[in-house]
Structure 1
């Protein structure tokens, strides 16, 4: 019995250590087509629904900030666990989980029990950017999937669309991400849409004043008023920038012009510590791309240090008797 216990301790320790060994080409020998399989799934998702790739890209942010990049946000609720899908920042916001499911199904056919869901999120986020016309890069892989999720942790960590740049700077600092990282990674809003729910306070009661956000350019304010009147279905969506299907630096140009959709975006231009980077990226798309890739890699390295497994189904943990550790 003692031998079995020692072996179990060793294996659990190995899961933590191996999870920290992130490197490009991790699946070169165990599943050589892993990255091409994920990109193929993302390409089909883009054709089916262009908005889906932006949704999948955001999974990396919502997964990695909450106890590291471990696929925890993909877990469904259970009778004994409230997962992260219904957390305040995720409910009615995150979507396209089925794209990750599809990638996992294809990978299980090709290489059963090898590629973690956490790594699929990282690959898919990179592919979303590349397929939308943005930069491409080599991702570091080798993560394990968590055995649990925490709605409470997600609620406590993830920022609200009402957050201002100062609060975002403080949040990113906790993860050793710089102000430059913050602004560059905010450029993820170069693609996709957001709900009227996220901006109603900006339009009608900014800071409890009963007035709109004065930073909104008047012509853009008129457009938003038509999209999101007071009696609107707040699930109606609007574009995050003027080119929502193309990953480019238009997002930053819009912020300079006072046309940021979210409060958390527009304050990056009005806040002195972040304004310079917004101006830089609005002028220099290549620098934005370079810094965005660097930020995605740094964020992708965030880990909890907890033990994990390679899930067979990204929505549920494996049975206790068949945990599959990365080799």
Structure 2
């Protein structure tokens, strides 16, 4: 079967991947959709991010959905033809972090399309996939495009859990790509009274507005746009930083009020923090990394119509047009979420 490999910066190739044997407790899935994530773009553009670098060819992709074609022994609750959202998160369940109740911090994590370990964990941009039934959530009532959005939505639901209650609070979201817009949707669902969003493109801010942001600010054309919120000691209760850009983080710290919570969700390289402000304002700084239980919650939210992700999928391309798909995903002025079609 065909699969999409990253060999290094700007070096993607369609290649052949082996057809694995179906084991007990597993499903064989004919892939339908796969979303191009920010981490896929980092591997494509730079060969990795931070200290994580490609050291061997790796199949990309972890935002996927597909249809069940074969069911392994011991699996109940699925039928051939079912649409499933496939979680890329496969914690071992037995390491110290898993046993502490932190499966997203698993020491032996097998997360699709990750170059963190070596050998790398191969991804899911392939025509067929063997997955543990425990990874899969029946996505009845959703389209394949919506089902493939369960992973990024789960990332954002985990970030909101890290933020704590936002009911009746003023929330600042910096960076309005797919993750930022999904955070806005999640914060609105969680009862935020006011959501302020910043980005450096008007296109992204327009989508943030549509998703429910009350105020949108272009921090490129108006670098001091957050200044009114930074008056006195700040007026923002909760900040979720989704861009991974140091200027956005610094501006957010200035706008947060004393004892506010800052959740760093965007991944890039290391950043220098304004520690004196963080200390003096007694801010709570939290990281947010991946997810686990939130994957099933994401599917349920979409199935119940509580969060609508369909408008975020702006482009889709057949797998053979992967080069066009990645070029489009790189153009933030045009695209929000770009997906590959496997069928």
TM exceeding 0.5: no
TM-score normalised by the shorter chain: which range applies? under 0.3
Higher strand share: 2
TM-score w.r.t. the length of structure 1 is: 0.27
Indicate the structure whose relative CO is greater, using CA pairs within 8 Å and at least 6 residues apart.
1
TM-score w.r.t. the length of structure 2 is: 0.26
